[in-house]
Amino acid sequence: MPTATSEDSEKLASTKFSVTKRVDRGQKKKRYIQLSSSGIRCTNGSKVKWEHALNDVLGMEEVASGEGKPPRVTITVRQQYTFDCESESQLQRMLSVLERFSRLGQTKSVESSGGGSREGTMAVGRGDAQGVSGIGGGEEGRYSLERERGGAEGREEGGDGTTASGSISGRRKKRLGPDDFEQLKVIGKGGFGKVVQVRKKDDQKVYAMKMLKKSEVYRRKQVEHTKVERDILCSCTHPFLVRLHYSFQTHDKLYLVMDYVNGGELYYHLRNAGRFPEHLAKFYIAEVVLGLDYLHSRNIIYRDLKPENILLDSDGHIRITDFGLAKVCRDSLGEEQSAATFCGTAEHMAP
C-alpha cells in the first residue's frame, strides 16, 4: 500500500457524508458521517451519536443491497453500523477517504488492554459486510485485518498472521499458536471443525480448544457470528459461563481456547436420569437464570438455550457454552441494535 503524504493530509482535513440509517420496522433516520485524520463521527445534525478514534476503526465495506435499492456501507468500529448511501459515487468516495486516512495513520501504535502497543491495518473494500472481522487470510481481494480489539484479555499479534490472547499484563506476552498445546482427544465435531481437549505445554493446564476451518466459516457466511462469539467470550467473566482464555489464528483455521468442563452436557445427565428431582431441577434453573441475568446486564441476548449448551463442571455447577447465536443488542454508546432474526434450535424455541 503506498505511503500517504502531507499533501493528502491537507486535502482531507475533514470530509462529511449524508447517509441514512435503517432501524426497526423499516424506519429511516438521517445521519452524517464525518471522517477526519483524527477519527470518525456519526451525528444526526445537532447531536453526536457516536465517535471513535481512527485507530479504533476496524474497516468499511460495501454491502450487497439488491437491485433498485440504494448502495449500502457497513462501518465496523466496536460495533458494525450500516447505512444507505445517496449514490454509488458517494459510497466509493467514503471508502477512498477512509482508506487514505488509514494510510496517514498506519504507523501509529494501538494501546492494548494489556498495556502494550501493537501495529494495526484497516480493512476497507467491497464484499460481504461479515468479512470485516478479525479473521485474516480469507477471500481473494479482501484486505486481511491483522488488528484485534482489546477485550477482557489482552491480545498480541505477529507478522505471520497468527493472533494470540493472554491475560492482562503490563508486558507483552509470548505469541501463542497450535504448537503450544498438546492435543489429547477429540471431544466434539461439527460442520465448521472440532473441539479437542488439549494441554498447554508450559504449565500443563488442560483446556478445550475449538478449531474452526476458515473456509467453512466464510462459505456458510458465519464470520459475524464467529466474531461475536469470540468477543462475548472475551468480555464476560462469570462462574456459570464458559470462559475464553486464548484466541489465535493460522492462515486456514481459527482457534478458541476455553475452559475444559469435564462433567458433560446437561442433556446427557437428563437423558440418563429421565427426570431430575425437584430440588436438583431448581438448582440448575437458578444457576442458568443467574448466568442469563449477567448476560442481560451486559446487553447480551443468548438465543440458543437448550440442555446441550449447558455443561456441568466437576463440582456439579452449570456452565453455559456456545455463544454462536448470541447478540449484543445495545452498543457501547447506548444505541439499540435490532434483534429480529428468527433463530435457535427448533425443539427448544418458544412457540
Residues noted as catalytic: 304
Q: Are 53 and 38 in contact (CB under 8 A)?
A: yes
Question: Per residue, what are the HEC states of 43-61?
Answer: ECCCCEEEEEEHHHCCEEE
Q: Residue 23: which of 244, 344, 309, 337 has the closest Cα?
A: 337
Which are the contacts of 9, defined by CB distance < 8 A and separation ≥ 6? 37, 104
CA dihedral over 222, 227, 232, 237, signed as positive or negative: positive
Question: Which residue(s) pair with 341 in the sheet?
Answer: none
Chain Cα centroid distance, residue 239: 22
Chain Cα centroid distance, residue 61: 16
- CA distances (Å), origin 253, targets 137, 217, 236, 337: 9, 9, 24, 30
Distance CA 155, CA 244 (A): 12
Distance CA 122, CA 99 (A): 8
Question: Is 210 annotated for ligand binding?
Answer: yes
Q: Are 297 and 241 in contact (CB under 8 A)?
A: no
- Which residues make up each annotated binding site for ATP? 210
- Which residues make up each annotated binding site? 210
